[in-house]
Structure 1
Amino acid sequence: MAKIGWQLEVILPRPGEWSVIGRLGPPLVFALWLSGCGMIPWLAPERDPHPPSPLPPLAQEQGLVVSWSAQPTRGTEGRQLRLVPALAAGRLYVADAPGRVVALDAGSGRELWRRETGLKISAGPEVAGERLLVGTSQGEVVALSLQDGQELWRTSVGAEILAVPRYRPDPSAGGRVIVHTLDDSIYSLDAATGQIQWRVNYPPPVLTLRGSSTPLLTEDGIVIGLAGGKLVKLSPSDGLPLWEVVITRPGGRTELARITDIDADPIWVGETIYIGAYNGDLAGVQDKRGEVLWRRKLSVHAGLAADAEGIYITDSEDQVWAADPRDGAGRWKQDQLHYRRLTAPAILGNNLLVGDLEGYVHLLAKRDGALIGRARLAKSRISARPLVAEGRVYIYGEDGTLCALQQP
């Protein structure tokens, strides 16, 4: 596979992946929806201008062994949510849109307990000490018992949550829950009680993609990507900004062309934070100072992964890239999975994993991006990044399928 340089094209979001938010009155909001509809081909009665690529033949194939497979939940019910598996102490936790939360033995897939919460869960779960955290479409953060799923507390934060709540142990404060809401508010909650400790709000642009960047917890701060292309680092104790930096400035003549949201999760390796913006740039940012070390034009939406050897990115056209962590220079591009609605990459040893819209998981070689394996594990889309932990890979599909894989 030939090495190539970087290229950026403006790609419109897919159905359901944009929304109008802000403080405008209803008539203006409605007008924006109408003006946007006329510009977006997939809202017209026409064929998809970017149909998914057919599955390419594999020159070589390396298998993944399914250790177990189950369908413990009803998944996302066709909605764009941030439901992901969480692993702790040999247990795997998953949640679904109607409010079911299930704990399973990670080794065997045996169900340990389930709880019908009645919540409209939109993000999570996250393990927080002896608690399990979820966010809801109604703007609530809810803590459940790890032992049986019983509700311990709930707190309203006023806006839908599409980023996984994060838990930060804090000896002086007893632990904090960091929440990023769809309106770009960031909250710190007391992990024991749910009481709000502080709130910071960054007013979003009028038009933004439907999604939020999950907070990254570093040694001394909280790093969050925002709509409009800004990356911020906040103090855990009071939410005051330690630094703010613009990754990509909005440009273009229309509101759609000016979308530069950071919905990808920041990745922290060593002293560098890697991040990408939709319609914008991939960047490396120095953690302590917030200095942008380099930028490369690349539209990022699903997300990225990184280690000491490289950065691996799923771009907005569902191409997978590898880049040099020192300067962002492109190493290779895998374009045979075009428009298959890929997940962010997950690193598995010398390989990468991505899920797609038909429930396939694809295995790529890290060295050159070659496709070396695939397996269909779910009947619908896999949108959650594969979870790699303790020698296994856990896959959670939007139909509620949960699988554990291992390399032979």
Structure 2
Amino acid sequence: MLLAALLSGCSAVPWIGGEKDPTPPTPIDKKLTQEVSPRVLWKTRIGKGTRERQLRLIPVLADGKLFAADPAGRVVAVSPADGRVLWEYKTERKARIPFSGGPAVADGTLVVGSSNGDLLALSSRDGTLKWRIRLGSEILAVPLIVNDLVVVHTIDDSVYGIALADGSERWRYDYPAPVLTLRGSSTPAEADGGVIVGLAGGRLLYLELEQGMPVWELTITPPRGRSELDRIADIDADPVVVGNIAYVATYNGDLAAVDIAAGMILWRRELSAHAGLTADGSALYVTDSEDNLWAAEPTDGAGLWRQEGLLHRRLTAPALSGNALVVGDIDGYLHLVSRRDGRMLGYTRVAKDRIGHRPVVANGIVYIYANDGTLAAVRINAAAGDQAGDQAPAAAAASATQD
């Protein structure tokens, strides 16, 4: 009965069940004068893609390589310069592992999780299998490697501490999930000797790393509303830690700041989000549930600007590149937005299918992994982006409203 309720709840929300959103996306503004012109450097295909399943397969750049995993059981390392495959790990056809969360890389080891609850560790140098274990539930969050520990958040809201060296379980924390939840899990964030984990039901948890004991637990957004769907208040967006403050956003809920040492909510502002957020020294940047992009004051959550020109385009969480924010959308476009005032700076189409997760940015290059299996590198003109960010708002910023 519980499984039926979870499935029926998920299928009732279009973007969770994989159905097309009944609200059409805002058309691309082809008349936009592009202040920044992104250029695709290379593209390759990694398998057949996710087929619209809500997975957390996000490329990671480490050890001079770009790593990505495929839901058909393949992990690859490619050259960031040209997309050339350096090595690949493939599970056997009769025993394919449906990868669904990761990868993460540290200290020469790559870890990736699967829909079956498998957690694998490979050598980041050549793809050799180091160990494989089975956890109790599906892994839809990117594992977090902290020193010699792998922290894994599974879809049933259990959190595991796994030894990086041999895959042995050091501790496990179980949390009872609500009857109805979004299909997804937030990736834990390292914070002052512990980890911050966003849970279903609008809860935020802080665990110490030695034994996985809870230091504190907070309700960011209590469930509210008449129907069970209205009462979904999950934290699927990854928490962002800046100094001693954790910023978090909930679906059907709030954007909030939490003092990590005190375990106390500093401020809270009503804002529904599930794709994610990011931050720099001057602002928080959030993709809300209707695909507005927001900039907010980190001190109190007050809005600085809002970009409404990409409504219902199923945007990713924003990534930072120079003075621009970079987001992917439902049709495989990358969009660049000014961090200063929210105006549109430019766009380019990278894939024919949705870019499902936050782009990865390094040294002025944006790496994306689309749902059709396209892995690509896009160069952003950093100088142009910086100049655009320092200019006064132009007519192209008409759709970016102050809030």
> Which of 202, 223, 230 does residue 250 from structure 1 map onto?
223
One-letter amino acid of the counterpart of residue 324, structure 1 = E
Provide the C-alpha distance between the structure 2 equivalents of 1:210 and 1:347, rounded to a whole number of angstroms. 26
Q: Is 2:109 the counterpart of 1:136?
A: no
> Which of 55, 66, 79 does residue 40 from structure 2 map onto?
66
The alpha-carbon distance between structure 1 residues 375 and 102, as it changes in their structure 2 partners (threshold 3 A), is same
> Which of 121, 133, 137 does residue 99 from structure 2 map onto?
121
Provide the C-alpha distance between the structure 2 equivalents of 1:232 and 1:314, rounded to a whole number of angstroms. 22
Alpha-carbon displacement from aligned partner over 1:20-73 (angstroms, at most 9, x marks no partner): xxxxxx3x6546766887x76899xx9954111111241443111222222233
Q: Are the counterparts in 2 of residues 233 and 244 from structure 1 also a CA contact under 8 Å?
A: yes
* Structure 1 residue ranges without an equivalent (≥5): 1-25, 170-174
Provide the C-alpha distance between the structure 2 equivalents of 1:79 and 1:373, rounded to a whole number of angstroms. 29
Q: What is the CA distance between 1:289 and its match in structure 2?
A: 1.4
Q: Is 2:363 the counterpart of 1:390?
A: yes
Residue 379 (structure 1) aligns with: 352
Residue 83 (structure 1) aligns with: 57
Q: Are the counterparts in 1 of residues 320 and 326 from structure 2 also a CA contact under 8 Å?
A: yes
Q: What is the CA distance between 1:90 and its match in structure 2?
A: 1.3
Q: Are the counterparts in 2 of residues 264 and 276 from structure 1 also a CA contact under 8 Å?
A: yes
Residue 399 (structure 1) aligns with: 372
The alpha-carbon distance between structure 1 residues 294 and 137, as it changes in their structure 2 partners (threshold 3 A), is same
Alpha-carbon displacement from aligned partner over 1:139-182 (angstroms, at most 9, x marks no partner): 1111112122222111111100000011111xxxxx00100000
Residue 18 (structure 1) aligns with: none
Residue 173 (structure 2) aligns with: 200
Q: Are the counterparts in 2 of residues 263 and 302 from structure 1 also a CA contact under 8 Å?
A: yes
One-letter amino acid of the counterpart of residue 332, structure 2 = G
Q: What is the CA distance between 1:398 and its match in structure 2?
A: 1.1
Provide the C-alpha distance between the structure 1 equivalents of 2:106 and 2:116, rounded to a whole number of angstroms. 21
Q: What is the CA distance between 1:212 and its match in structure 2?
A: 0.3
Provide the C-alpha distance between the structure 2 equivalents of 1:101 and 1:32, rounded to a whole number of angstroms. 30
> Which of 298, 302, 315 does residue 342 from structure 1 map onto?
315
One-letter amino acid of the counterpart of residue 144, structure 1 = L
The alpha-carbon distance between structure 1 residues 92 and 230, as it changes in their structure 2 partners (threshold 3 A), is same
Residue 237 (structure 1) aligns with: 210
Residue 16 (structure 1) aligns with: none
Q: What is the CA distance between 1:78 and its match in structure 2?
A: 2.6
Provide the C-alpha distance between the structure 2 equivalents of 1:136 and 1:36, rounded to a whole number of angstroms. 20
One-letter amino acid of the counterpart of residue 266, structure 2 = L
The alpha-carbon distance between structure 1 residues 35 and 279, as it changes in their structure 2 partners (threshold 3 A), is closer
Taking only aligned residues, the RMSD between alpha carbons, in angstroms, comes to 2.1
> Which of 229, 234, 253 does residue 280 from structure 1 map onto?
253
Q: Is 2:129 the counterpart of 1:156?
A: no
Q: What is the CA distance between 1:77 and its match in structure 2?
A: 2.9
The alpha-carbon distance between structure 1 residues 93 and 41, as it changes in their structure 2 partners (threshold 3 A), is closer
Q: Is 2:123 the counterpart of 1:145?
A: yes
Provide the C-alpha distance between the structure 2 equivalents of 1:371 and 1:75, rounded to a whole number of angstroms. 29
Q: Are the counterparts in 2 of residues 364 and 370 from structure 1 also a CA contact under 8 Å?
A: yes
> Which of 184, 189, 197 does residue 162 from structure 2 map onto?
189
One-letter amino acid of the counterpart of residue 35, structure 2 = E
SS at match of 1:395: strand
Provide the C-alpha distance between the structure 2 equivalents of 1:340 and 1:236, rounded to a whole number of angstroms. 38
Provide the C-alpha distance between the structure 2 equivalents of 1:47 and 1:177, rounded to a whole number of angstroms. 35
> Which of 153, 159, 179 does residue 152 from structure 2 map onto?
179
SS at match of 1:207: coil
Q: Are the counterparts in 2 of residues 128 and 191 from structure 1 also a CA contact under 8 Å?
A: no
Aligned length: 375
Residue 111 (structure 1) aligns with: 85
Q: Is 2:245 the counterpart of 1:268?
A: no
Q: Are the counterparts in 1 of residues 322 and 364 from structure 2 also a CA contact under 8 Å?
A: no
SS at match of 1:192: coil
The equivalences for 1:33-44 within 5 A come to none
Range with bigger deviation, 176-185 or 245-254: 245-254
Provide the C-alpha distance between the structure 1 equivalents of 2:343 and 2:371, rounded to a whole number of angstroms. 26
SS at match of 1:368: coil
The alpha-carbon distance between structure 1 residues 267 and 36, as it changes in their structure 2 partners (threshold 3 A), is closer
The alpha-carbon distance between structure 1 residues 31 and 361, as it changes in their structure 2 partners (threshold 3 A), is closer
SS at match of 2:170: strand
Q: TM-score, normalised by structure 2?
A: 0.89
Alpha-carbon displacement from aligned partner over 1:219-257 (angstroms, at most 9, x marks no partner): 311000000001111000011111111110111111111
Provide the C-alpha distance between the structure 2 equivalents of 1:380 and 1:166, rounded to a whole number of angstroms. 28
Q: Are the counterparts in 1 of residues 191 and 244 from structure 2 also a CA contact under 8 Å?
A: no
Q: Percent sequence identity over matched residues?
A: 52
Q: Are the counterparts in 2 of residues 75 and 95 from structure 1 also a CA contact under 8 Å?
A: no
Alpha-carbon displacement from aligned partner over 1:67-114 (angstroms, at most 9, x marks no partner): 222223332133110001011121110111001111111122221111
One-letter amino acid of the counterpart of residue 133, structure 1 = V
The alpha-carbon distance between structure 1 residues 29 and 126, as it changes in their structure 2 partners (threshold 3 A), is closer
Q: Are the counterparts in 1 of residues 46 and 373 from structure 2 also a CA contact under 8 Å?
A: yes
Q: Are the counterparts in 2 of residues 279 and 298 from structure 1 also a CA contact under 8 Å?
A: yes
The alpha-carbon distance between structure 1 residues 168 and 107, as it changes in their structure 2 partners (threshold 3 A), is same
Residue 11 (structure 1) aligns with: none
Provide the C-alpha distance between the structure 2 equivalents of 1:366 and 1:381, rounded to a whole number of angstroms. 23
Provide the C-alpha distance between the structure 2 equivalents of 1:35 and 1:71, rounded to a whole number of angstroms. 33
One-letter amino acid of the counterpart of residue 357, structure 1 = I
Provide the C-alpha distance between the structure 2 equivalents of 1:289 and 1:64, rounded to a whole number of angstroms. 43
Q: Are the counterparts in 2 of residues 139 and 158 from structure 1 also a CA contact under 8 Å?
A: yes
Q: Is 2:224 the counterpart of 1:224?
A: no
Q: What is the CA distance between 1:344 and its match in structure 2?
A: 0.2
One-letter amino acid of the counterpart of residue 210, structure 1 = R
Q: TM-score, normalised by structure 1?
A: 0.88
> Which of 177, 182, 187 does residue 214 from structure 1 map onto?
187
